[in-house]
Every structure is written in C-alpha cells, then in structure tokens.
Amino acid sequence: MDDNTTVQSTGEALAASPNGALLQMHDINKAYPGVQALAQVDLDVRRSEIHGLVGKNGAGKSTLMGVMMGLVQPDSGYMEVDGRRFDDFNTQVMLDAGVAYVPQHVQLLDTLTVAENIQAGDMPKTQLGFVDWKQVYADSEERLQKLGLNIDVRQGAETLGVAEQTMLAIAKALFSNARLIILDEPTAALPRKDIDMLFNFIRSLKKQDVAFVYISHHLEEVFEICDRVTIMRDGKIVATRDVAGLTSPELIQLMVGENVEEYSRGSKAAEQVVFAINNLTRRGAYENINLSLQKGEVVGLSGLQGSGVSELAKSLFGMSRLGIGEVTVDGKPLTASSPREAFNQGVALLPQDRHRFGLIGLRPVRENVTYSVLDKITAVLGIIPRSKERKITGEYIHKLGIVTPSQNQKTQLLSGGNQQKVVFARLAATQPTVLILHEPSQGIDVRAKVDIFNIIDDLSVQGVAILIISTEVRELIGICDRILVMYDGRLTHEFGKEKMDPHEILMAIEGGGGNE
C-alpha cells in the first residue's frame, strides 16, 4: 500500500486540540491469540511536553509504541498527528509525520563508523558523486559536539561501550528533525553525568516545541523529567496524571494495583570466607583491590562509569586478564582466562547487557537455561538427553517463577523480567560458589524487581556468595549486607548495614566524603 492510501486526511484541517495535542490515539485495540494486548486505549501527547509512559512488563507499553511507530497494526482505532488522521499506516509514514523511536536495545550498524551510523542514508557527496568523507566527519563531529558527546566519529560503532551506543542512538533520533521522539529506557546504561546531559538536552528541545514519550522503569526519572505520566496495566490506560501532583507510592499503586513496599532482607551470611581478592591491580583499570565475601553474603559494589567496577567484573569472569594479585574461590586460586573456565572454578556472571551476552533470544527457554551445563549432562557420542534438559529447565521455571507458555518458547518473546529470570536460571544451574550480578534490575518493572530480589535471597540462603554491581543505591540498601564504592579504580568506601545512608553513599560514588 502506497503512502497516498496510507495517510487519510479528514478532508479539512482538524481543529487544534484545546490541550495542544500533537499526537492523539483513539480507541486503539490489539489482540493476539489468547491475549488482549491493548484495550480501548486513548492517549494524547501535547506539544512541548515530556510525557512519561509506565507500567509493569506486559502492561502493553511496547505494543502501544509499536502501533505509534507503524510496526504493529491495531485491530481497530485511529491516530492523529498534527491534524492528520491515520487509519492504516507504516513505519515510513510515521517517520515522515515526524515521529522517531529509540528502542531499549540499541541496534547500530556495528561494522560501520560512528559517522556512517549518524549519516547513513544521507551521506554528503562531492560534485563528482563520490562520498565527501571530509564533510561526513566534520558534520558528524559538529552534531555530536552540540550534544556534548566526546566520541571519535572515525571509530567503529562495534567498539563503543553500552553507554556510548545508547547515546549514539539517541543522538541519531534527535538529528532526524522529529517533532515527537519516543525514548524507550534511554538511561538504562548511562551514568549520572550522562543522564544529566541528556535531560538538559531534552529540556532544550522541549523549548523548541519538540515532544517526547519517555518510557522508563526508573520512576525517579519520571518525576525528574516528565510533565505528565500515563500509567498502563493489562493493556489498558489506568490514568494520566500531572507529575507535579503525584507521589511515588501513588504511581506504584496505579502501576501494580496494590501497594508495594521497598524490599528489605535480613543477612544470611555465614562466617566462612569463600571468595577473596588480595592486592589485585591491573594498570589502567583498577588498583590494590582487597575484598572478601562470606558464604551466603550479599555485597553491593557501586561506582561511576570508568570507576573500574565493570572492568573488575569482566576480569573475575575470565573476560579480561586479572592483572597482578591473588583471587581465591574456596581457598583455591582463580586462574580463569575464559568464561567457561570461570564457570568451572565456581564463578558466574550476570552481564549488564544480557541481550548481547546473556541470552540467545531466538533459541527456546530450555536451551538458554541449560547451555552453560551442557558439558555436565551430555551423554556419550555428544548426545544431549532431552529428558535431562527438560527436567533441569522445569525445576528452574518452578523455582524462579518464570512465566512462559512452554520450555520451547523463544526467549526473546518473554517479558523483560522473565528474560532476566532465564539468565538467573542458567547461572544458578552451574551451582556457582560466587555469583556476580551486573545491574540485575535494569529494564524490569517494580514487581519483577521484587521477584529478582527474592531469587537473590534464596540463592544466599543456599550459601551462594553474591556480588551485586549496581548504580541503584536504594535497591542495594534493601538487598545487601554491605555496600562498597569504587572511585578512580580504587575501593574507597565500605558501608555496613547500620551506616547505609543514601546521601552518603551517593557522595562517595561521586568521589566525595572521607574513606570509611
């Protein structure tokens, strides 16, 4: 269907909405077999507005955004953008209408440079028709500088870290001349200073009549950046409220339909050190690291990007060299030079980017749960007993409360919280002595977070020592026995349960305060 039949004008300009709406969705319905994904959804986004969209995983947010971007065709309903009515539309039509989308899981052209990613499809040419590379790089540098981004535009996109990839994707959307930009969990991988920079830029665009739909599970960000917020539950719009007149408990109650208290656990640690790091140094990454974990202890580790926390986690899991010093697991030296060796020596890691390193989305839940233990269950001649696979998977589906139609469901079709549980199941199946969790609650809703925290508590009861790397200070306070802070490659602070003050911990993360 061409664009002329896709965009259907009302025949005359629609009267301007009294509330200044740029986009309006009317009576949107979408059903899948056995699931009513959207039911009678009405949504309006005003000009010059930052409009939050929140709800549990599975509430319908992704489906609604799919409709807004022309990726999902609704069963009924229509949409208006700036006075134009859309009854049947596609992605290109919505882009032409001025709607841009930045997905939660960034997709870049990894084999191309940063500059090529920015200007893909619109490369400046010389008079002879060749790509004007000088202009490509100059224009790209100028655009990024306007965002305050210090990224080498000549480097390959695949060399960027998670935060830089997210920032580049956001930049591409901002440079598309869109009037409405959908931001789906844009800060999930960003340190505070980059969040501040992004928010300042969003506010500056808002003054230029650009509107945003801001999707986030970080409710504090909704209160910080949004003007209004729409809450979804079970495919329906529960409410749309002015943020200024809303409290956090009220917002959570609207999201989950019940009151959810902040999670808190009691210590399950035993007086038996099972993991120890002594004077560990790797030049340029971390220096003189000393820490120990007791059996069943949950310890938090937090720090800014570049503080050394990510590098330390990768090194302990065999993804990078350890450097000089000693690391022991149950009294035995940790010598792993690969993740497989780390598993075999009792160390497991939940990666920050679980979709790149933690899951094989196109493969079934059963394979994702068991592929880390295939060497232990494989029979002679390399045959994998399906009965053992099904038994192990079934046990962890039950233990962790993984919601899936079957063990054969493609993992990428599960909600974010259930995908996270699948990764936990894979790691737990290795029966680790030490479990390192890098941002375990990233990208999941408040109810799924409680489920994950309960899983952590259960693993600690079983004697697993757990190191949680996270920037969510309040969550660390609720789940951890101790919290450590890294700054500039060094461990600078330790906070016991009785000294876990959020303000003091944040000060330490930013490099302030005295050593504890």
In a domain, 488, yes or no: yes
DSSP assignment, residue 118?
H
For residues 381 and 446, state if they share a domain: no
For residues 441 and 505, state if they share a domain: yes
CA distance linking residue 369 with residue 78, whole number of Å: 41
Q: Which string of DSSP letters, residue by residue, matches 16-34?
A: PPTT-EEEEEEEEEEEETT
Angle between the 446-461 and 248-256 helix axes, to the nearest 10 degrees? Answer: 90
CA distance linking residue 293 with residue 309, whole number of Å: 16
Question: Domain range for residue 386?
Answer: 360-431
For residues 398 and 446, state if they share a domain: no
Q: Is 222 left (phi over 0), alpha (psi -120 to 50) or beta?
A: alpha
For residues 252 and 339, state if they share a domain: no
User: Which CATH number characterizes residue 499's domain?
Assistant: 3.40.50.300
CA distance linking residue 384 with residue 373, whole number of Å: 11
In a domain, 353, yes or no: no
CA distance linking residue 401 with residue 414, whole number of Å: 13
In a domain, 28, yes or no: yes
CB 481 within 8 A of CB 269: yes
Q: What mean pLDDT value characterizes the chain?
A: 83
In a domain, 352, yes or no: no
For residues 196 and 126, state if they share a domain: no
Q: Among residues 369, 399, 431, which one ends one of the domains?
A: 431
For residues 67 and 7, state if they share a domain: yes
pTM: 0.58
Angle between the 416-429 and 446-461 helix axes, to the nearest 10 degrees? Answer: 10
Instruction: Read off the pLDDT of residues 416-459 as tens digits, 9 standing for 90 and up.
Output: 778 888 888 888 888 889 999 988 887 676 777 888 888 889 88
Q: Among residues 370, 400, 431, which one ends one of the domains?
A: 431
For residues 229 and 376, state if they share a domain: no
For residues 365 and 391, state if they share a domain: yes
For residues 397 and 305, state if they share a domain: no
In a domain, 355, yes or no: no
Of 316, 300, 268, 269, the residue nearest 493 (C-alpha): 300
Q: Among residues 398, 413, 431, which one ends one of the domains?
A: 431
For residues 456 and 322, state if they share a domain: yes
Sheet holding 7-8, edge to edge: 7-8, 84-86, 76-81, 21-32, 35-46
Determine the pLDDT at residue 472. Answer: 80
The pLDDT tens digits along the chain (516 residues) read 333 333 333 333 333 444 578 999 999 999 887 778 899 999 999 999 999 999 876 788 888 998 998 888 899 999 999 888 988 778 888 888 889 887 766 778 888 899 998 888 778 788 888 888 988 899 898 888 877 778 899 998 888 876 677 778 777 877 777 789 898 888 765 667 778 878 887 887 788 788 999 998 778 889 999 999 999 988 999 999 999 999 888 887 888 675 555 667 777 778 899 999 999 999 989 999 999 999 999 999 998 777 899 899 999 999 999 999 999 999 999 999 998 899 889 998 988 766 666 677 778 888 888 876 666 666 666 666 677 788 888 887 887 778 888 888 888 888 777 888 888 888 888 888 999 998 888 767 677 788 888 888 988 998 999 999 987 888 899 899 999 999 889 999 999 988 888 878 877 887 765 555
In a domain, 354, yes or no: no
Both tokens assigned to 133: 């590379």
Please list, residue by residue across 2-41, b when 16 or more beta carbons sit within 10 angstroms of its beta carbon and e when fewer do. eeeebbeeeeeeeeeeeeebbbbbeebbbeeeeeebbeeb
For residues 83 and 172, state if they share a domain: yes
Q: Print the SS3 string covering 155-168.
A: CEHHHCCHHHHHHH
CA-to-CA dists, residue 364 to 122, 180, 390, angstroms: 39, 36, 11
In a domain, 502, yes or no: yes
Of 159, 172, 184, the residue nearest 69 (C-alpha): 184
End-to-end CA distance of the chain: 66
CB 303 within 8 A of CB 485: yes
In a domain, 507, yes or no: yes
For residues 103 and 134, state if they share a domain: no
- Give the CA angle between residues 469, 323, 483 to the nearest 5°: 25
What is the helix (H) or strand (E) element at residue 54, kind and residue range? Answer: strand 50-54
Total of domains in the chain: 4
